[in-house]
Structure 1
Amino acid sequence: MPATRAEASQRVRDSIVEATVRIVAREGVAAVTHRGVAAEAGVSLSSTTWHYATKGDILEAALHWCADHEVSRIAAIADRVGTFDVTAWADELTDWLLEQLGPEREATIALYRLQAELLGSPGALAVHRQWGRGLRALGDQVLGGASEVDVRLIISALDGLRMSALASGEVEPDRLRTAVRRQLQALLA
């Protein structure tokens, strides 16, 4: 069955956003132009300007994609693991971090570059609030009575480990696994 116009349009938007993430990861935010994104996505220049009027619009869409991707990956862990067990969650979150630093490194780099570039913009603030609500909802689902502060501390600790490993280029799975386990135990014991 042929795709509807709306489905085709969504595929083009997805291609544009994914191309933006690749460009940001590879060359930085300054390299993002409508023309460059169109070439990377394999779409016409008019498609990029039709769907995203400004560079800021494309960058915000890419940040939103990164946030949604992260929440959905952690939601999949929650579905798989179910109830909270420090060891099981530490192992799953460590595996997730290792993916972020390995096969998904490109998206992780883009995430940080987009966050820095869009810091404080109204669109980025909205994305961050939605992202935070999604992660807190997952925290509530898994941790039950844990406070919002505990959930924020866990998120911040994981983010710090990810950024440190990404910045240093030192990805040590055993050290990372130990650190995640100790952080969860310390924050939730």
Structure 2
Amino acid sequence: MSGVAYGSGRQALLEATVRIVAAQGLRGLTYRAVAAEAGVTHGSVRYHFGDRATLIEEALVYCVERSIKETELTSDLPGFDGFARGLVSLVVTDPDAQAFQYELMLEARRRPELRDTIRRVNESYRVATHQELARHGLDDPDLTDLVYAALDGLVFQQTAFADTTRTERAVEVLRQLLETYATARSA
């Protein structure tokens, strides 16, 4: 593994996979391309992941875990003041991770073998959203679906158009709506 610190090869391969798919779609994803992007030998890809499907799935899980954590869906602050606080910075800091996920989502329309993985990813985001809403007394699956769809749409818009001001304003309005709704339901 030239150029990559010992023990970081697996993460470098995951990050390389994300960058390649974000830039070129799945058609650009080859062992050689990933290895070159990561600065390792192409045998390392097969060693760490075995096959292309596992590489894609693990890169997706890697992105989801980081996204949920960095979006800060959960907050210890009272009310919804901290809800989705990191959403804009998440996309600004690593737009490839979001583009990678959207590329795979669209590819799942053409490749049925990806659908279950994409469903699990969406469910992970939906569960994280639900947990935060339920923490505030909004234990409503339909509301969860609506809020998740709004957040997903905002991430997509930020990823595609990079309009930070507009996205931040929209997140703030979403927080205000949730706060108003929670207050009305508890009254």
Name the TM-score class by shorter chain.
Answer: 0.7 to 0.9
2:19 equivalent to 1:29: no
Closer, same or farther in 2 for the Cα pair 1:168/1:60, shift >3 Å?
same
**Equivalent pair of 1:23/1:31 in contact (CA under 8 Å):** yes
Shift of 1:131: 4.2
Structure with the bigger percentage of helix? 1
Percent of pairs identical after alignment?
25
Task: Name the counterpart of 1:157.
Answer: 150
Deviant stretches of 4+, over 6 Å: none
Shift of 1:144: 3.6
Q: Distance in 2 between matches of 1:114 and 1:128?
A: 12
Task: Name the counterpart of 2:123.
Answer: 129
Task: Name the counterpart of 2:50.
Answer: 53
* Structure with bigger RCO (C-alpha 8 Å, 6+ apart): 1
Shift of 1:157: 0.9
- TM normalised by structure 1 equals 0.74
Q: Distance in 1 between matches of 2:160 and 2:180?
A: 25
Aligned to 1:102, the other structure's residue is in SS state: helix
2:41 equivalent to 1:44: yes
**Equivalent pair of 1:20/1:32 in contact (CA under 8 Å):** yes
- TM normalised by structure 2 equals 0.75
Deviations 1:85-115 (A, max 9, x none): 13x135xx2x422213322222221221122
Q: Distance in 2 between matches of 1:178 and 1:131?
A: 19
Q: Distance in 2 between matches of 1:133 and 1:34?
A: 33
Shift of 1:182: 4.5
Shift of 1:169: 4.0
Task: Name the counterpart of 2:3.
Answer: none
Shift of 1:73: 2.3
Give structure 1 stretches of 5+ with no counterpart: 1-6
Q: Distance in 2 between matches of 1:178 and 1:185?
A: 11
Mapping of residues 35-184 of structure 1, within 5 Å: 35-74=32-71, 76=72, 78=74, 81-86=75-80, 88-89=81-82, 93=84, 95-119=85-109, 120=112, 121=114, 122-140=116-134, 142-173=135-166, 175-184=169-178
* 2:87 partner letter: L
RMSD: 2.8
Shift of 1:164: 2.5
**Equivalent pair of 1:34/1:48 in contact (CA under 8 Å):** yes
Q: Distance in 2 between matches of 1:51 and 1:130?
A: 24
2:17 equivalent to 1:20: yes
Counting matched residue pairs gives 173
* 1:43 partner letter: V
Aligned to 1:172, the other structure's residue is in SS state: helix
Shift of 1:26: 2.6
* 2:27 partner letter: A
